[in-house]
Amino acid sequence: MFAGRFGRGFGGGRPGGRGWGGFGDGGDFPGGRKLSSDDLQLVLESLLMQAPAHGYDLIRQIETLSGGFYKPSPGMVYPALTYLEDAGLAEVQPAGARKLYALTEEGKTHYRSQAERAEAIIAALTRIGSRMGEVRDAFAGVNDMDPAAGDALHAARHGLKRALMRRRGCDAREAMRIAEILNRATREIESDGTAGRAGGDAPAAPSGRTDA
């Protein structure tokens, strides 16, 4: 985007050097793939279409949107906001000592041209966050269960958490794939227990290992 005007597209370089910085903590999760800078730009534009906001507020909004699954680091959000400002898509409004970012008319026009893509990215994050919330709710009463069943569910829960942590830097397509896996698991849990076992195989006994 804007390669002719600024010498490179927003996604062609990496503000801060690391794409999105990873789902969660600025890219500290080993092996996690990164969302492109274009995707972060569109998410920020989407939030700024709703109302002007400070950089820190945008970080919190994204964290809330994803149910805590993704919290972008300031080292990624602020360079992205600076780029939007340099590109003429955002402007800083007077708001005391903190910068209040708002989209310019050019920025609003650009967002509208990319709204479908932005909505797909946000929808994927929202679905992941929703499923994580459901998992937390589902396991809220584990300690009141039979010890063996409780241990098995704890192991499964931690395995799922670890697997999701390893994908916290995934792109939108991967996030949607994960959402479908979680949706499928939900359907199987809500079934009579025969889904996924058409061949009549009995479920494997817990091995004690929790590797994802």
Asked which of 108-122, 164-178, 187-201 is least confident by mean pLDDT, the reply is 187-201
From CA 129, how far away is CA 25, in angstroms rounded?
Answer: 16
Residues 11-47 pLDDT 10s: 333 333 333 333 333 332 233 334 578 888 999 999 9
> Side by side, which strands form the sheet with 53-54?
53-54, 100-103, 90-93
- DSSP reduced 3-state for 211: coil
pTM of structure: 0.54
For 189-209, what is the mean pLDDT?
53
pLDDT digits (tens, 9 = 90+) for 135-152: 666 666 655 667 777 778
Closest listed residue to residue 36, CA positions, set 15, 62, 64: 15
- pLDDT on residue 164: 82
Q: Tell me the C-alpha distance between 102 and 53, whole Å.
A: 7
Domains and CATH numbers, the chain: 1-191 (1.10.10.10)
Q: Which of 46-60, 101-115, 161-175, 197-211 has the lowest mean pLDDT?
A: 197-211
Residue 176, pLDDT score: 87
Q: How many CB atoms lie within 10 A of CB 65?
A: 18
What pLDDT does 193 receive? 59
Q: Among 45-54, 131-140, 191-200, which stretch is predicted with the lowest mean pLDDT? A: 191-200
Judge whether 111 and 49 are in contact, CB under 8 Å. yes
pLDDT over threshold 60, residue 89 = yes
Per-residue pLDDT at 83 = 96
